[in-house]
Amino acid sequence: MAKAVKVVAEARASAGSSAVRRLRRSGKFPAIVYGVGKSPQNVELDERSFNKMVSAHASEHLLLDLEITGGETKKVLLQEVQHHPITGRVMHADFHEISMTKKLRVEIPVHLAGEPVGVTQQGGVLEYLMRSIEVECLPGDIVDRFDLDVTSLKIGDNLTAGAVALDPAKYTLITNKDQAVAAVSAPREEEVVAA
């Protein structure tokens, strides 16, 4: 089970592009907290501490305890992080308040474990066809990643989303179970160009 990480945010009153630019210059970034049946709440977070927290995890879809200064602490799911296309700095984040007893759909990364036989003994190439799968689960069952053992793959073999070992009591696979996640293909022949 993924342990909820605590993040501190401040309520943000000022909106508009000039206020957001000032905020970013001070090392912070804007975010929105969406709640069920509540109006969205504007908050601001410290970019450096946020990046440090996110970098310790394989996925940006994290279960968090979001403490809003002078307010309440909410259980939230980090739904989306927007990065600047050139600098990579965090531009904005969306948080969704959740109930710990209600299932939700999340994308969880798939990590390929092992060296395929088709690569080590047959000279094939391992292809990563899908980086994550979508599952439905309770917030407390969100994990950093699922491991998929690829050691038995030979050239021409593949593993599908249905091959990812999921506890049926906790997870319902939403991604098509027949969709390929990893495959081993024959090395591409170099084309000989006639002189």
Residue 154 and residue 32: Cα distance in Å, rounded? 47
Q: Supply angle C-alpha 32, 144, 71, rounded to 5.
A: 30
Q: What percent of the chain has pLDDT over 90?
A: 45
> CA-CA distances (angstroms) from residue 152 to 104, 115, 143, 187?
33, 8, 25, 18
Coil vs helix vs strand at 113: strand
Name the token pair of 66: 């979001």
Composition of the chain by helix, strand, coil, percent to 5: 15, 40, 45
Span 65-70, average pLDDT: 87
Res 1: pLDDT: 46
Nearest to 140 by CA among 54, 75, 68, 52: 75
- What's residue 129's pLDDT? 94
Neighbour count for residue 9 (Cβ, 10 Å): 25
Which tens digit of pLDDT belongs to each residue from 73-127?
888 988 888 988 998 888 999 999 988 899 989 889 999 999 999 999 999 999 9
| DSSP one-letter code for 147 | E
Is pLDDT of 159 > 90? yes
d(CA 9, CA 65): 10
DSSP sequence for 1-12 = -PPPEEEEEEE-
Q: Which two tokens stand for residue 155?
A: 């050239």
Instruction: State yes or no: pLDDT of 60 exceeds 80.
Output: no
Give the mean pLDDT of the chain: 87
